[in-house]
Chains A and B, each alone.
Chain A
Amino acid sequence: MVTITVKNKIQKRDLPKLLSEWSSEFTIYVPSQNGVTGWAQWNGKDTDFMDWYRNTNIPPKSIFLPLIEKLFSFHRDKDGYHIEIPPLDVERKLIFGIRPCDARALSLLDMNFCNACEDPYYLAKRKGAVLVGLTCTKPYDSCFCTSLGISPSDSSCVDLLLTDIGDDFLVEATTDKGRNLLNSNILSKAVKYDEIKAKAHKEEVYRQVTRQVNVDNIQDRLFRYFENEEYWSRLSQKCVSCGICTMLCPTCYCFDINDKIIKNNGERFRNWDSCAFPIYTKMPMENPRLEKWRRLRQKICHKYEFYPMTFGVIACTGCGRCIRLCPVKWDIALVINNLPNIVKYEHGK
């Protein structure tokens, strides 16, 4: 497959103009800082959000799988129950400034919500969405995307990629959706020198991701250690079973379903859940993972063993949120690295 990459540039100070143009067709989401860094609709004016040069604590999955989502409302009268399903959220969203790791995370969520089973609520929001990525400017010391085959300037999961080259952003379109965004006279053609500057910047940030995680034979290594209770118990000792690492993980998608009922009226919501909680899955039955070590093992194995088994890809993007934001600084990278590297025996060889 030949990918035609169109290269343009835009002056940073012209960014509000460009966003305004795009907003005639899209609802624009940008990084926000309301007490905590996350995502919010663009206010239509300034680009203060660009001052925040690091990735957000709340991942952009929150736009497609919101913390709280109303599924339907219902009421009861003498004729029984009546359900009212709200219209699907089909506004076209443009996510501006998404990092390559988080864009990849959305493609991983797609495997679950689009391929494995079709989730209309997620699909409606995701289908028309356009991702305008931003090459990282300053990766965190907890970042390890490069170990998972993602680079801080990866354009494979975005429609458009912006790279900081001083007074301008180099703009690269990799999909038709992205190319359609370039019909603006605010953009100008990038010259060779811009591309050189962008390349240097990309190489520099790639070097800044210094944390390494050994994912060689990871499925096999985890499989062989699955029953090792002593290993998992030791690892999980300091975990306090809170939901930070899972809820703020860009690839975790577990949700719980709850009803809010007042007299004869009610609403059904779904909200983020976590496999770290002892009461996880208590509602339908029991939690098969009563001990902490089983729950922690589940988190690791789901990402590094079961996802590859089902979809052929590791469900971790190395964003490092689970390390950086952990109350006890539990480090997934150390766990993966400390699993002995067992040589894989391939059948028939």
Chain B
Amino acid sequence: MNLFKLTVGTLATLLTNAALAGISGPPTQPLPTEEGGLFAVAAILLVAGIKIVRQKRNR
């Protein structure tokens, strides 16, 4: 899997999450990205972990 696919996958996840949050609650409900940034931290760490493991396997 290349970086392009990884980026597209991450963006698709973010959009899906935003859409799910949008349909599952009242319009004033905060999106997950507003919840203290932990959502963003989880996304960054997960992508970083996947990259580390992929580099390790390709070596």
A binds B: no
